[in-house]
């Protein structure tokens, strides 16, 4: 069973992600800190979902850490943020994340995103 790591601390949004991941037939590992997310990704994650607006850790630092490790570079990272944060979106894209989407697009596309990366 593929594993999806969710570096998301918003419990309401995380519940939606949990339901979608479960519906896609995957397991979900919730990471409350950057260190937990990196460790979970090392354990063979098929996909990492990252909230770039999370206040519990530095999301860009986590993104850099995921891309810095040779063994994690191939793990897809799909990040989301507020649609008005063009600067943050550009920074995240420069780090090399797989996809960076506005929160509303991420939310409505979540089943398709999961289908692309965990099938």
For the domain that residue 46 is a member of, what is the CATH number? 3.40.50.2300
**How many structural domains does the chain have?**
1
Q: Is the pLDDT of residue 27 over 70?
A: yes
Closest CA to 64 of 38, 44, 100, 90: 38
Higher pLDDT, 109 or 89: 109
- pLDDT, mean of residues 38-57: 93
Task: Determine the average pLDDT of the residues in 88-113.
Answer: 90
Tokens 């800190």 sit at which residue? 33
Is residue 111 in some structural domain?
no
Considering the chain, what percentage of its residues have pLDDT values greater than 70?
Answer: 97
Residue 105 lies in a domain: no
Distance CA 46, CA 58 (A): 22
Range 26-35 average pLDDT: 95
The kind and range of the H/E element at 55 are: none
Instruction: Answer whether residue 91 shows pLDDT above 90.
Output: no
Residue 84 has a pLDDT of 67
Residue with tokens 């799909």: 78
Domain that holds residue 60: 3-98
pLDDT at position 55, please? 84
Rounded Cα distance, 22 and 38, in Å = 21
Residue 117, in any domain of the structure: no
Q: What is the CA radius of gyration of the chain?
A: 13
Average pLDDT over the chain, rounded to whole? 92
Instruction: Find where tokens 């601390």 sit.
Output: 9
Single pTM value for the model:
0.92
109 assigned to some structural domain: no
């Amino acid at each position: 069973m593929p594993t999806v790591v969710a570096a998301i601390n918003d419990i309401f949004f995380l519940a939606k992600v949990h339901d979608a991941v479960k519906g896609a037939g995957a397991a979900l590992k919730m990471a409350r800190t950057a260190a937990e997310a990196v460790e979970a990704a090392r354990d063979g994650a098929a996909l990492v979902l990252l909230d770039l607006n999370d206040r519990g850790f530095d999301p860009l630092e986590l993104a850099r850490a995921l891309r810095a490790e040779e063994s994690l570079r191939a793990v897809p990272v799909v990040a989301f943020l507020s649609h008005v944060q063009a600067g943050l979106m550009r920074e995240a894209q420069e780090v090399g994340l797989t996809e960076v989407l506005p929160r509303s697009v991420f939310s409505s596309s979540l089943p398709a995103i999961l289908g692309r990366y965990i099938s």
